[in-house]
Amino acid sequence: MEKSQICENIEKVKGKIESTCKKIGRDSSGVMLVAVSKTKPVSYIQEALNCGQVEFGENRMQELEDKIPEFDGKKISWHMIGNLQTNKIKLIADKVNWVHSIEKLKYLKEFEKRSNGNKINALIQVNISGEKQKGGVEPEDLAQILESATNFENVTVCGLMGMATFTDDPEDVRHEFKLLKNLFDEHQEFNSGSVKLRELSMGMSNDMEVAIEEGATMVRVGSEIFGARNYD
Ligand SMILES: *Cc1c(COP(=O)(O)O)cnc(C)c1O
C-alpha cells in the first residue's frame, strides 16, 4: 500500500457510506467512520490524519498504548476494539476515548477505576455470530450488565458492538445485524444514569453497507483504508 493511497481510500469509503445512507434515507452524519489501523505503522495513521480522519481503532492494548503518545497534542480520537485483559486496562484507561469490546462488568469497573478523570465511551460487545471465538456477551446476558452499569462517573455505556460471521456475501449476515439492532431497540428501557444506548458499532470493510442499512452508527474499517494485513 502506497501511503498516498490512504486518502483516496478514505474518500472511497466515505462515498460508500454516503451512497448507502442516501439509498435508505439516512443522514450520513449519523455514521462515524473508525479507521482501523491495527498492525499498520504510525506513518499511515499520520497520513490519514492529514486528510481529515480523526477516529482510529486498534485491537491490541499494548499497540494502542504505544501509538497514542506519537500523536500527543493532535486532534485524534482512539478506539479500543479488540480483546481486553483486566490487568492491561490500566495501560489505556486514562487516554482512550472509546472501548467497543466490553464483555464483562469487571472490565467496565476497571476502566472506571483507572480512568483518572478521562471520559470513556464504552460499548458492550454482543455475540451475534454464534461463533465463540468472536467473543461478546450472549444476548440474554445483556440486560444484567446494563442494570449494573448505571452508576459510573467517567464511563458511559453508550451502545452495542457486534462482529458478524466472515462471509463472501454480506447478505448472508444481514440477519446478524438485524439481531443487534433489535437488541439495541429492546434494551433502550435500561437507559438510566451512565447507561445511554445510542450507538451501534457494526460493519467492517466487507459488510459495512449492509450494516448501515440495518442501522449502524459506527463502522470499523481497516483493510479497505490501509490495505490487507498479514495478521490480525
Ligand atoms: C480488524 C477489525 C476490524 C476491521 O476489519 P477490516 O475487515 O480490515 O475492515 C473491525 N473490527 C474489529 C473488531 C477488528 O478487529
User: What are the tens digits of pLDDT across the range 184-226?
Assistant: 999 999 999 999 999 999 999 999 999 999 999 999 999 999 9
Answer yes or no: is pLDDT of 3 > 70.
Answer: no
pLDDT for 204 equals 98
Ligand 1 pocket test: which of 61, 101, 204, 221 has the largest number of ligand atoms within 8 Å of its C-beta? 204
Ligand 1: distance of its center to the CA of 192 in Å?
30
Task: Assign 123 a pLDDT band (cuts: 50, 70, 90).
Answer: very high
Residue 72 has pLDDT above 70, yes or no: yes
What is the rounded average pLDDT for all residues in the chain?
A: 96
Q: How far is the CA of 145 from the centre of ligand 1 (A)?
A: 25
Residue 231 in this model has a pLDDT that exceeds 80: no
Q: What percent of the chain has pLDDT over 90?
A: 94
As for ligand 1, residues whose beta carbon falls within 6 Å of it are 36, 38, 59, 81-82, 163, 204-206, 220-224, 232
- Per-residue pLDDT tens for 27-56? 999 999 999 999 999 999 999 999 999 999
CA of 37 to the centre of ligand 1 (A): 9
- Enumerate the β-bridge partners of residue 98: 79, 121
Domains of the chain: 4-226 (3.20.20.10)
Q: In angstroms, what is the span from residue 165 Cα to ligand 1's centroid? A: 12
Please write the tens of the pLDDT for every residue from 145-179: 999 999 999 999 999 999 999 999 999 999 999 99
The pLDDT, as a whole number, for residue 2 is: 63
Q: How confident is the model at residue 131 (pLDDT cuts 50, 70, 90)?
A: confident
